[in-house]
Every structure is written in C-alpha cells, then in structure tokens.
Structure 1
Amino acid sequence: MTKEEKKRKRKMLPVRLNALFLVVFFIFCGIVLRLGVVQIVYGQDYKKELERKEETDVSSTVPRGKMYDRNYTPLVDNEPLNAITYTRSSATSQEDRLAIAKALSGLIEQNTDKVTERDKKDYWIMTRPDEAKKKITSEDRQKVEDGEIPEDKLYELQLSRITEQDLADISEKELEVLAIKRQMDAGYAMTPQTIKNKGVTPEEVAAVSGQLEDLPGVDITTDWERKYPYKSMLRTMIGSISSPEQGIPKEQRDTFLAKGYSLNDRVGTSYLEMQYEDVLQGEKARAKNITDREGNILETQIISEGKSGKDLILTLDVELQQEVEKIIEEELKAAKKESGTEMLDRAFVVMMDPRNGEVLTMAGKQIVKDDSGVQKINDYSLGAMTSSYTMGSAVKGATVLAGYQSGAIKPGTSLLDEPLYIKGSPAKKSYETMGTVNDLEALKRSSNVYMFKTAIEMGDGEYKKNSSLPLDTGAFSEMRNYFSQFGLGVPTGIDLPNEATGYKGTSVTPGLLLDLSIGQYDTYTPLQLAQYVSTIANGGYRMKPQMVKEIREPDPSEGIGPAVRSSEPHVLNKLDMDKDQIERVQEGFRQVMQEKKGTGYGYFMGADYSPAGKTGTAQAFYDGPNKSKFLAPTFNLTMVGYAPHDKPEVAFSVVVPWAYDKSSNSNSVNKVISKRIMDKYFELKEKHDKENLEQKNIDKIEEKAIKKEVE
C-alpha cells in the first residue's frame, strides 16, 4: 500500500466513526423518547396494570332443575325474575355502601319489612355521628383509658343508649336506604348479593341500567324463584330450599364449600329438594374479577356461562294424585260427621306398581285448626313415610306366611276359632266365633284366633284354658324377622330422607306376641304397608319404592331434554318361601274381596278389575296433637290390596288412624277410600289407553299423508 492510499484510509475512519456515532445518537434519542411516552403519557395506565391482581371463582346462580310427574306434567317450575344485585369489593367501606344505597333508593322501591331494630341503631350511629358521640360520657372514656373496659365496649354502650325517640327520627326514605344497605352488607366479598328480585319493574330496570357507571358493584341480572303449579299438593314431600339470606346450612357449610358452593347459595333443605341437591343445583356461571391492590373491581371476565340444573321425572301420576287427594278430603269430612270421631284428623293412601316399585301416589291429609279456630285440611303426604301406626289385621298375610316358613302351619292347616282364656288376661278372640277354619278362611274372614294359635306354635307354647301361657320369647324376634322380609318394621329403601321405621314393642309377655301376630303391637308406616302388599302381589319380591323415574338434561326450547339416568327396578330381597305358599295367601286375599263373607266383599263385589286385599282394624291410643286430652282407646282402620289379582299392576295401602272410639258403632272409611281410589285408577287408565290409541291413529294418518306427498 502506497503512502497516499494509507493517508486516504486514515481520512475515511473519522467519517465512519461519525456516522456510527450519529446512528447511536438517533437510537438513544428514540429510546429516551419511548421512555418518556411510557412514563409520562402511559405511566398511570402501566402502574395500574402492575397493581392489578386476579380474584377467581366468582359465581352467580343458575335456575334450579325442575320436577315433572311421570307424564311430564310440571310439578315444580322456575319463575324468571329481574334482579338488582350488588358485588362488594374488599376495599368498599361502610360509607361507600351507604352512598350507593342512597343513590339506589332514588331509582327503586325497597320493602323495609326485614329491617330490625339493631339495623336502625347501626344506621343511626353511622348517619348521626355528632349525636352518637354524645351517647358516650367522659366517665366511659376514662374507663377505657384505665383499662376497666375494652374500646369496643363503647359501641355497645352507644347502641344501648339509643332511645325509641332517636329511632323515630329516621324517616321513611331513610328506612328504604337502610333496607337496601342491609342487603348490600349481607353479601360476601366478591359474591353477587341480591338487593331486589321480586316486583322489579321495567322502569326500575331502565333507571338502574342507565346509572350503572355511577353505581360501582351494582348490576342488573336475571334470577328465579320456585313456582308450584299445583300449589300445596305434595309440597311436604317435594321439600324446601333455603333463601339467599339463609344460604347453605351452617351444619353443612364445610361440605358445600368443598363442592364449590358460595355461602349465600340456595340449596335443598328437605326431602326431594335435599335428596337430589347435586342433580338439581346445576353448574353455576363463573367469572374472574380483575381488581387493583386496593380491591376495587377493574374488570370482570366470564369463564363459563353456567348450566341449569337437571330435571327430575318423578314416578308420581299428578292426575291420579289429585283425584286421590280429593277422595281423602271428601271421606275425611264425611267420617268426621259421625259420632265418636273427635280424634280422627288424618288419612293416608300409597299406591305403587308392584312390578317395579314405582310410587304412583303418596297422599296424606290432616285436619287442623287455624288461629281463629276454623277447621281446614292440609297436605300431609310426608306422613305416609314419617309417621307409623298399629295396622291391625291388614298384616295377617305376613303372619300366615311366617307360619308357613317357620313350620307352625302348612297350606290347608285347619284350626278351631274359639275364645282363648289365658290366666290373668281378658278373653282373646275374633270379632265372631268362626269354628274350624283353614288358612284361606282365616284370611277371608279375618280370624284373630287362627293367628294367635299360629304364634303360639311359633313360640313353642301350648294353650290350656284358664292356664298361663309360657312362650319362647325368641318368637318375637323370629316373627319380626319374617315380617321384615316384607318391609314391615324396616326401612323401605325409598329415595327420600328421614323415613320412619316404626316402633318395636320392648315387652315380651306372651299376650303381646299374640297381639303382634294380628298387627296390634308394633307400628308401621303406610309406605311399609304398601311395600308389604306389593311383595305378596308380585310373588315374593320386595321392591325398593322409587320416587324418581328419570333424570333429564334441561332443554329451554323443548322443555324436556334427553335422559341421563333412568331408575331400574331394584329387588331388596326375595321371600324364602315356596311359590305355592305365596299363591295360597294371594288366593286368601282374592277371597277377601271377591267372595261372600270376605271382609272386603261388601265394597268390592262386582269390581271388574278383579281385586285382592286385606282389611284391618287395630285398637290403639291416640298419639296426635293435644294427646293428653284424649286418653281413651281408639281404633285405626286400614286396608291393603292390589289388582288384577292374577296380573297385578297396582298395589295400595289405606291408613286412617284414630278413626273412631268406643262410643261409636265404627265406620268403614278405610273401605270406602280403598274402593274409590281403585275405581279411579282403572277409570284413568281406560281414559289414557283411549287417548293413546287415538294418538296412534292420528300418527298413522299423518304418516300416510306424508308418504303420499313424498310419492
């Protein structure tokens, strides 16, 4: 390289460096400019973004699942409601909520019935601070300084010194503000709390919607409440749900919270609503609240829209239920007009399909007096499974089968029906002396003595006139064990909580074993009685009673969605007896209803549905309201049955406790109710069969028309 070339190269180096420095300078200026924009122009925005934090799992209610009868008629529905809600952030103060409540009070009307005296006192102190200070004396403050009382005691003193005159100073408008704030305070942080959901007018919705930007935490949404198309019918069995104020029960709080519930969620608190809570509740709508460090909600992001609860299709037939309830009411009122019925106040009917255990009707009515002393009849369907009574001769089918199974008697065994004179006790006899009767005659005519002698044989006893009757006390357990195979004295397995199992007598004196054999010692529920007769009707299979037939997805457009679960028939146990033994009792039950001298023949003779069954009367003592007023013995009337006798499709139990006392010549309300409900069942069946046939014919005609049109 020459000297000139070297000189030229040295001259070019500063130029390149200057160009590089210029480029670096522009880059640096760009960075400074960008930092300036970020810090000065968007500084506050980015600061807020850095201070943001997320609060997840905020949920809101969805409609609860509905309930339908077996024919898809709605029994429990949901009525949609406009709702005004408030979601409290962790940073919101009492003063903030008071300001929002005041603003809301100018936009909506709020009921003040729930405002308590304590609410008023708290509000008075908050809104009248100067007057509230005067409620605390210098002596009070000195006690705090001296450590005699804690600081928070001063607030209690303020509350105690607020007079009625002070509270009278709160205006009606202020009470409305207080009622709104009371609802706002009841909610939990980050959880929507209902301020008003009943009677929200379109004008109120529009007014609040237009002011939402100035009402932080307030929102307009949709809520629901339970609707009962059939009013009080089956309400005790359907059960209840809690209100938003009650929320989840305290004793179940941990369980529900672990499942993702909120503290103010409405949940089932009894019977079907409680038993199927997991199905009916649905999947709540969930959102994510974005808040700043102070807890103010900056943004709400929807995570999931939620899904309504699944629907229950019950086994009940609402049309049959209505008719049965009507019959019970009419016959209760008619029986009450008879003499000796002062204790009579209730009656029950259970009808079920003995082939699969589906409960078709569970009805109960109770006569009560309101505060003014006026008599009325209330729904008491629940009593069919929660109350128990001595059932009398209706259980004699179980006694005869127990006799067969134990070897005490055999099909065709004949025994002498005669008064039994046991030392130290009144004569034990049937309602009439029948002479020699076999097992069928004993059932048909309802011989007590036949059952007594069967029980004596089971207890390894020997009857001698006017002598004592020693028996093996183990016979009590043996007979109860046989009875339990029919469902008597044990849980039926129904898919409802709080089922009663009845009372087992504790004394084991010989005479009581004889009483047990004719249904006059232990007590059973009307539902147990229905399960017992169903077991006889179907040939010895004890079926689990079922209240829910299907569980279906909700379908807003069609009403009924696809089934997600169907209840299959469930056999709890099979009687360990020969087929001919069960058929023998079935024949005895047929004769009760269809042959002369049968105790049910006078009411069921000529019935074209071929009934079978057993009547019952039990001497008892009143155990209802004001029982100290009624100490005299009374009589329970019962009846069980099924039809047709050779292919049973419906079984029933009728129980009328305390139907009459000794001053009366008795009555037959149990038989009248039984006949009427069975007539009605087959009448409705014929009607539905006709309707189904007509519909099939219409479908065929439409199908032909469509086919012809296509061709």
Structure 2
Amino acid sequence: MGKKKKKSYLPFRLNILFIFVFALFSLLILQLGVVQILNGEEAQKEIKKTIDTNTKLPVPRGLMYDRFGRIVLDNEPVRSITYTPPKGGDTAEKRLEIAEKLANFITIESDEEELLKRVRERDKKEYWFLFNEEDAQSRLTSEEKEELTAGEQYQAMLDKTTSADYNEFDWNDMDLLNVVAIKKELDQAFELSPHVVKNEDVSAEEFAMVAEHLYELPGIDASNDWNRRTVYDDTFKNFLGRISSSNEGIPRDNSDFYLTRGYSRNDRVGLSGLEQQYESELRGLKEEVQYTTDKTGAVVGMQSVVDGQSGNDLILSVDIELQQKVDQIVREELEAAVTESPEKNKFLEDAMVVMMEPKTGEILAISGAHYDRENDEYRDESFRVVYDAHQPGSAIKGSTILAGFESGVINIGESIYDRPIKIAESVKSSWRNLGPTNDIRALEQSSNVYMFHIAMRMAGATYQYGEPLYNFNWDTFQTMRNYFHQFGLGVETGIDLPFESTGVVGTSPMAGNLLDFSIGQYDTYTTLQLAQYVSTIANDGYRVRPRLVKEVRKPEPEKEKLGPVISSFNTEVLNKIQMDDRYISRVQEGFVDVFSKGTAANAWGDRASEYKMAGKTGTAENDIYENRALVGETENLTLVGYSPYDNPEVAFAIVVPRNGQNTGLNPHHTIGKRIMDAYYELKEARAKDGINLDLSSEDNDENEEEITETEAE
C-alpha cells in the first residue's frame, strides 16, 4: 500500500481575515453607490457652489459751470488698469506672481527717476522677505514670538532686515523696480474693490496688451476711468478744490465718517474747496455690481445690479470771464508795484480782491496774487482772500460812525474839531488837521480824530489834552466789536467753503488800542469780511451770506446742456443791522463823497461819477519786525466800494498789505479802477450781444427746491 496523501486547507484565522476584508469592501462599494445614486446631484451642487457678493463702483463726479453755463471743471476720460482682489484677499506670493506677469505689459512709471522714488526702503525689505521668510523669522527672539501679534512680528522682522539683505537684488534693474512698484499697488487693494494700478499715461498699446491677456491676470481689468480737468487752467482752481486719488482713497483720520455713508476705502473724495464742501452732491450714485466667486475666492462672474448715476452738477456764482480778467489785473498791478519801487516795496508780496453782488451775496470774482521772492515768480494764491487777515485801516470807519450813532455818543450832523489829541505822552492825529468836521466829512476826508472821540465817548472816558484817559470802561472793546460783528467783521461770513478765517482779535485792552481799533489798526480782517461789510452798507443794512454756488442741477449726457434744477440757493439774510435806517443813509452819503470829493477823488477822476461809485479808502501802518527788531515800515492799502450807489449791483474789497511807504504808487486804486472797467465792459458787451444771463427755464421751475430766506440773530 502506498502512503496516504495529506489534505491541504487554509488556516482558520486566515479565513476570518479574508471574510473581514470582503465585508469592508462590500460596505465601501455600498456607500459609493449611495453617494453616487442617492446624493450624487447634491454633491455635485456642493462642488459647483459659488458665493455672490455685492460691491459698489464709483461713478464720474458732477461737473461745475460758471454763472453763464460755461464748463469750469470737467471729467477727462482716461484708460485705467485696475486690480480687484478675490474675497479673502490674495497672498503676498500670489500678488507678486500677478505683478511679474503684469510687468510684461505695463510700465508703472515711464521716467526712471520717478520709478526709483516709488520704490522705497520698506518695499525692498518686503520683497526680500518673500524669498527669505524663514531667515527673517529666525531673527525674532522667543519673547517676541510669544508676546507680539502677527502684525507686530512682521514689523519686527522688517526692522531687523538690513540693507545688506535686500541689496542682494540689483535695484538698478528697472524691470525689477517695475515689478516691485506694481506689487506695491496691488498690496493696497481691498477685497472685491477695484484699485487703480495705473491710470496716468496708460498707452493704447499697454491697454490693449493687458486686455488681451486678462485670462492670465486674475483680478486685473482694463477699463475706462476719469480724472478732473480744470478747463481754464489755474483760474479759480484754488476754490474748485481737489479730490483724493484712487490710491489715496478716503482720509484715514476720518474713515468711519465715509465708510458709514457707503464709501469704499479707495473712493475719491473732495479734500478741499468746493469739491469738499459739496461732496454729497458731486459724488453721484454708485453702480452696484454683484461678483460671483467660487470656493477658492476667485471671481468667476459679475453683473450690474444697480445702475450708477453721475454726480450732480454745480452752477457757480462766478463769472469765469470776469474772473480771468481780475486775476490778470491783480497780478499785473502787484508786479508793477514790486518792480517800479523795488527798494521800498521789498516786503510787498500779496494783492487780494473780492467782487460780489451786495444784494444776493453771489461772488462774481475772487482773486489773489502772491509774489514768491525766493523763486522770483508770481502765483495765483486766491485762497488768501479767505485765509489771511490784515489790519484794514480807515476802510472800516463806516462801522465806527454807525456804532457812534447807535450808542448815542454822536448825532447826525454833529461836528467835532479835528486836531491832534494827546493822551499822556502819546500824540494821535488825522492825516492832516481838518478843523470842524461832521460825520459825513469825517468819512469823506477819513478823519482819525472823529473816530477817536467816538471811541472815548463810548468808553465813558474823561479826556484832557496831555492827560491819561480817566474813567475808561474796558468793556467798550467788546461793545464796539459787537457792532462790527453785525457787518461781518471779526466773525464768519458764512461762505460755502470748508474753512474761513475770522481774523485776529487784539488781546491788550489798553485805552490807546481802543482808539486804534476805531480806525482799523488793531483787529485784523480778511478781504472777504471787508467785502461783506461794504455790501451790508450798500444793501441798506442787510448782511447776506456770500455764495460760490448758485444752483445744483441733475447731470445731462451732453455736457453743453444743463439738467433740471434740483436746488437753488436764494439770498440768505444773516442779519439786519440793528440801527436806524437814517444812520445807514448818512454813511452811504459819506461813502459817495469819498469818491466824488474825498480821499478817492483824485485817483478815480471821471470814473467816480461814470460808475456812480461809493466806498472808503484805508491805510494801516504795518511795521515789519524780525527778531523783535524793526526792519521795515510798510502800509496795508485797502479799498472797499460799490456801484452804482443808487442801486448797487457790484461791491468789492481790495487789500494790498505791506506796501512800502511814500512809493508814489496806489495799487489798490489802480486795481479798483481796472476791475470796475472790466465789469462794465463785459456787461456792455453782453448787452449788445443779447446774451441771456439767466440760466433758469420754465421747464426747470417745477423741479426747483428753494432754500427759504432766513434771518439769523
């Protein structure tokens, strides 16, 4: 018998393992079937899930027109390259990658010197950090890693980065500088908010190249943008103001104010002048866009949800043609005064003018020229009209006379003997001894002594020649200032600008200073305040708010056509002088005599009667000190006036400070005559041409929202 063969079989444990593995695979296949068959559609939706986010895009700002409908401030279309980061933002490495690609198509700055200025030390450090993050982190101490926040740690690492570190790169390489400058712009962008990378001098070739390669430039777009353009160059530019660039955005120190009103951080806003004052009107209605992003945050689509609308347009009170002429006159006369008497006028630097309608407060022209001695050039610095204050001299004597009338210390027609007065050792007098002088002649011949007696009487002082003033009431300073305030002297005029100076109030209440105050040689006032003062007298005692904007209108697609009126700013009376109308009439009569036979008669000649002039001249001593040493004796020359005196339609104030003494020149009178010539020549020419000076129409009346005339205390 042969040997019996042994039977072969798997061990029991191995069989158990196979069964367990088989069960697991069966469960996995079952689960996959459930996902694919029962939940497949839902899973696919989750994969394709996107997020819709709305953002608002800025629209062109409103335009500005002069009082006759001529465009003064326009929007100029420009090509623009923008970057819109995805939701959650891009990493620094991703932005660098985009910058490197974009640098193949645009040059952020064509001028090499300007490009070098753009890339600063911090930018070089941040570029080095991108390639050496581990090295930079190793320089932090353990305390810094534990105690500092992520942002503070980053700043600490930059602080520890040396020039030897970042100079590993060749910073003379313009291509490298271009990349870093572009990345710097990308770094400033906020998520889902377009940030302008370049909109100055984007060439047609750059624009086309970027547009052609958008598919490889995530977040980059080539679109049309706009910049502000002053149509008449620098004319009136100081008051038009400026707006921030898209890279500046909203002011950081007031960001909450703008963000709560629907602004984005990189929105352009008015920063000065009318751009700032009328920001809410000029900004317009933003276009609302819905961005669709995938799960990675990349923008995969966009659509407009709310159509945007350009900002409203402003109709200014200014006559831009008159403004140009006045600017030229002021500059020419300032230059003539400087060059014709260079030694005596070595401190003369400014000349300022305001022309306005006394009955409405509408500013017709507002001008100021400044001579920069260091660079020997003349500049338009008309902002000085509302910023700079000077002692006006006798121009304010109309206020002093009226204060005397109302306080009861003088009567209409009362005569005072004009001869020098002496208080202790101080002698004060008029420009010459005028003898018996009544109120009108005191204005006509600009009597200082008449004003001194008004001030002393109001103070209740006892005057004896050569003796100190006894029983002097120190409250008289404030009493006289309160009278002056009624004319706009020493208080805000209320002009529609973000800022105006109210002048400087003297702080030494000595008796002699009160006398100086009464003749305009103590407190200081702006040229605009003087214009409001003389307008108040011309306007029978009604002080009106000066305005640079007449109307707000809806925008029209055609710039040459004005839209319907949204709001119209009617005359706003701030206060009525609390004085008898007879007193105001007496001052008006004295102002007429100033030009017909008084201190302005010789300078104005036939123009005084031709234009029916009324007003007041002024001269204030203005000694110049350096390190408390007297270095020059100068005079502030002023002139205020209005025309025609029987129905005033234009008032003006002229200030030429720090004019040399005894120069033989009268720039304030020369400026005055020439600006009045310009005003009436333009008026006559327009009348002959039949130009309609009224911009309103019947179609616009129903849309007009009038501002009710108010009367303030």
Provide TM-score, normalisation by structure 1.
0.86
Question: Aligned-pair distance for 1:206?
Answer: 2.2
Answer with 314-323 or 208-217: which moved more: 208-217
Q: Is the 8 A contact 2:124 2:166 kept in 1?
A: no
**Distance change >3 Å, CA 146–CA 245, structure 1 → 2:** closer
C-alpha separation between the residues in 1 aligned to 2:504 and 2:125? 52
Cα displacement string for residues 490-547 of structure 1 (whole angstroms, at most 9, x for unaligned residues)? 1111111221111111222111111111111111110010000001111110011011
The question of 1:684 aligning with 2:685 is answered no
C-alpha separation between the residues in 2 aligned to 1:142 and 1:574? 73
C-alpha separation between the residues in 1 aligned to 2:402 and 2:590? 12
Hey, what does 2:122 align to over in structure 1?
A: 118
Q: Is the 8 A contact 2:196 2:247 kept in 1?
A: no
SS at match of 1:167: coil
C-alpha separation between the residues in 1 aligned to 2:480 and 2:93? 72
Q: Is the 8 A contact 2:486 2:577 kept in 1?
A: yes
Question: Aligned-pair distance for 1:378?
Answer: 1.2
The question of 1:354 aligning with 2:351 is answered no
Q: Is the 8 A contact 1:660 1:667 kept in 2?
A: no
Q: For residue 587 of structure 1, what is the amino acid of its counterpart? A: E
Hey, what does 1:657 align to over in structure 2?
A: 657
Hey, what does 1:574 align to over in structure 2?
A: 576
How many aligned residue pairs are there? 647
Hey, what does 2:178 align to over in structure 1?
A: 176
What root-mean-square deviation, in Å, do the aligned CA atoms of Structure 1 and Structure 2 show?
Answer: 2.7
C-alpha separation between the residues in 2 aligned to 1:251 and 1:145? 30
**Distance change >3 Å, CA 514–CA 102, structure 1 → 2:** same
Q: For residue 445 of structure 2, what is the amino acid of its counterpart? A: R
Answer with 462-471 or 635-644: which moved more: 462-471
Q: Is the 8 A contact 1:343 1:630 kept in 2?
A: no
Hey, what does 1:5 align to over in structure 2?
A: none
What percent of counterpart residues are identical? 42
Q: For residue 120 of structure 2, what is the amino acid of its counterpart? A: T
Q: For residue 474 of structure 1, what is the amino acid of its counterpart? A: D
C-alpha separation between the residues in 2 aligned to 1:296 and 1:514? 76
Q: Is the 8 A contact 1:347 1:365 kept in 2?
A: yes
**Distance change >3 Å, CA 693–CA 422, structure 1 → 2:** same
The question of 1:432 aligning with 2:429 is answered no
C-alpha separation between the residues in 1 aligned to 2:189 and 2:75? 23
Residue 206 of structure 1, aligned match among 199, 205, 208: 208
SS at match of 1:614: strand
C-alpha separation between the residues in 1 aligned to 2:585 and 2:349? 37
List gaps (5 residues or longer) in structure 2. 1-31, 110-114, 695-713
The question of 1:75 aligning with 2:77 is answered no
Cα displacement string for residues 143-163 of structure 1 (whole angstroms, at most 9, x for unaligned residues)? 689979999478337622644
Cα displacement string for residues 18-68 of structure 1 (whole angstroms, at most 9, x for unaligned residues)? xxxxxxxxxxxxxx999968966x67752234x322322x12221111212
Hey, what does 2:450 align to over in structure 1?
A: 450
Residue 58 of structure 2, aligned match among 50, 58, 61: 61
Q: Is the 8 A contact 2:128 2:165 kept in 1?
A: no
**Distance change >3 Å, CA 335–CA 171, structure 1 → 2:** closer
**Distance change >3 Å, CA 101–CA 611, structure 1 → 2:** same
Q: For residue 523 of structure 1, what is the amino acid of its counterpart? A: T
SS at match of 1:120: helix
C-alpha separation between the residues in 2 aligned to 1:409 and 1:105? 80
The question of 1:380 aligning with 2:378 is answered no
SS at match of 1:494: coil
1:627-646 aligned at under 5 Å gives the runs 631-646=631-646
Hey, what does 1:224 align to over in structure 2?
A: 226
Q: For residue 75 of structure 2, what is the amino acid of its counterpart? A: N
C-alpha separation between the residues in 2 aligned to 1:322 and 1:627? 40
Hey, what does 2:306 align to over in structure 1?
A: 304
1:298-697 aligned at under 5 Å gives the runs 298-336=300-338, 337-338=340-341, 339-369=343-373, 373-425=374-426, 427-470=427-470, 471-559=472-560, 560-595=562-597, 598-607=598-607, 608-622=610-624, 631-661=631-661, 664-665=662-663, 667-692=665-690
The question of 1:47 aligning with 2:46 is answered yes
C-alpha separation between the residues in 2 aligned to 1:93 and 1:507? 64
Answer with 527-536 or 216-225: which moved more: 216-225
Cα displacement string for residues 474-494 of structure 1 (whole angstroms, at most 9, x for unaligned residues)? 221111111111111111111
Hey, what does 1:700 align to over in structure 2?
A: none
C-alpha separation between the residues in 1 aligned to 2:398 and 2:36? 97
Q: Is the 8 A contact 1:660 1:666 kept in 2?
A: no
List gaps (5 residues or longer) in structure 1. 1-31, 697-711
Cα displacement string for residues 594-635 of structure 1 (whole angstroms, at most 9, x for unaligned residues)? 12xx10001222221111111000012348xx8878644421
Answer with 410-419 or 216-225: which moved more: 216-225
C-alpha separation between the residues in 2 aligned to 1:379 and 1:157? 44
Q: For residue 395 of structure 1, what is the amino acid of its counterpart? A: I
Question: Aligned-pair distance for 1:272?
Answer: 1.3
Hey, what does 1:6 align to over in structure 2?
A: none
Provide TM-score, normalisation by structure 2.
0.86
Q: For residue 88 of structure 1, what is the amino acid of its counterpart? A: P
Q: Is the 8 A contact 2:126 2:158 kept in 1?
A: no
Hey, what does 1:100 align to over in structure 2?
A: 98
**Distance change >3 Å, CA 433–CA 359, structure 1 → 2:** same
Answer with 175-184 or 605-614: which moved more: 175-184
Hey, what does 2:271 align to over in structure 1?
A: 269
